[in-house]
A and B are shown apart, each in its own frame.
Chain A
Amino acid sequence: MEWTAAAVGQGLIASPRGDIEDGDRDLFLENLRQGVSEAIARSVPLIIDLAAVGHMSASALMALTIARKDAVAGGIKIILARPGAALRKILEISRYQLIFDIIEDPNDGGE
């Protein structure tokens, strides 16, 4: 898994790349937490652009929820953007649309 992050408009957009499997969980969580800290410092949402992520294991999903707790405590949101069809299905089966906003355009997340 690779990870890049950049401030865009009213949000901080993080862009992981590649499948995020059980073995990537700690690195994924570390990046998420760093992104959440930066987003809290700027008082902007953290937008995770998932366009280049093909698959997420359950451990990766858990990392998202751990980071979500940090985000809620810090008064910001984590927004999931542009999941592909397979990943969107995994998120929906997990009912993650009930605990995360899922959007199509990452540039819409800061509004």
Chain B
Amino acid sequence: MLVRFWGTRGSLPVAPRAAAIEAKIAHALMRAQGRTFADEAEARRFVTEELSFGEGRTYGGATTCLELEGADESFFVLDMGSGLRELGNDAFRRFGEGRARKFNFFMSHLHWDHIMGFPFFGPAFDPNTHIVIHSGHADCEQALRRQQEEISFPVSFDWLRAKIEFRVLTPGERYTVDGVDVELMPQDHSHVSYAWKFHRDGKTFVFSTDAEHRMDDFDDQHAFEGFFRDADLVVCDTMYSLAESITLKADWGHSSNVMAVNLCHGAGARKLALFHHEPTSNDRDIDALLEETIQYEALSRKDRQPLEIVCSYDGLELRV
């Protein structure tokens, strides 16, 4: 399986302002220290090999949308954040290469930042496209229709030309969708969110965003360690620091890098992707989040197997 990240930001889409780009370029020039580059390829090597990710590039600002490649024929899409628009554009390119026009969506929940991309999802306007939306929420269709009511958006849901179906799945059950085993699990978040687990050919991928893990709730800890058990990749909500998540931002429905590492350690997971970045965080902040999380993993690992830490960004691809 291949996981492709189209949107990794939490709560609200963001974009760097002019001053941020100016500062990034000035910093890179200072780091280059008057060096000359024979060609653009050499300059790019400097950017990718000698600057940190946040110095030379950007983590991006689209809200939650992931793609999972590896199903028999359909696109698997996790959430409909603003990153979905670009996925839709790229899907048309792949239709041209013979890819089937079928999408299976899996929804963590229905909050604005996780559904706002659907009105801009080109294939939804294509009468030859088939869309199946899987959710733990019985009111998923209501949420999608409501955001396209005239007071909010000029194009009604009924104007979409794709064949669109809704399927409500039950936590604790195991489903097979286009050759991939799928499970879901409720999470602590306003109006409930769901973690999703995808399993195929001995590989397991878990997508767990918008989840608050209360440190004094051992039942929650054991349940999630079970759901994450031996996963090859876990994508986790790491929006806040631990201190924020249990004080000022307690009950806001999100978690921390520390809790994510603890759960993955307890589960014996192999790789953790930091996800749902705080919209006020800039690239330097997210660089620091990654570096600190790697340090925390090493400090707290003890005799457990190493947990690889990566930081998601818009455009990242991870092989599972």
Q: Measuring CB to CB, which residues of chain A are less than 8 angstroms from any residue of chain B? A: 55, 57-59, 61-62, 65-66, 86, 89-90, 92-96, 98-99
Contact = CB atoms under 8 A, between A and B. Distances in A.
Contacts of B262: 57-58
Given A59-B215, A62-B216, A95 B299 contact: no
Contact of A99 (B247, B258, B296): B247
Interface string B258-276: 1100100000000000000
B299 A96 contact: no
B299 A61 contact: no
- Which 7 pairs, one residue from A and one from B, show the smallest C-beta to C-beta distance? A62-B215, A95-B241, A95-B243, A94-B242, A93-B292, A58-B262, A93-B296
Interface of B: 215-216, 241-244, 246-247, 256-259, 262, 292-293, 295-296, 299-300, 302
A98 B242 CA distance: 11
Contact of B300 (A57, A92, A98, A99): A57
A99 B87 CA distance: 41
Contact of A96 (B215, B243, B259, B302): B243
B215 A93 contact: no
A61 B242 CA distance: 9
Contacts of A94: 241-243, 256, 258
Contacts of A55: 299-300, 302
Contacts of B258: 58, 61, 93-94
Given A66-B216, A90-B300, A95 B259 contact: no
A58 B242 contact: yes
Contact of A93 (B216, B246, B257): B257
Nearest to B257: A93
Nearest to B242: A94
Contact of B246 (A65, A86, A90, A92): A65
Contacts of A57: 262, 300
A92 B257 CA distance: 13
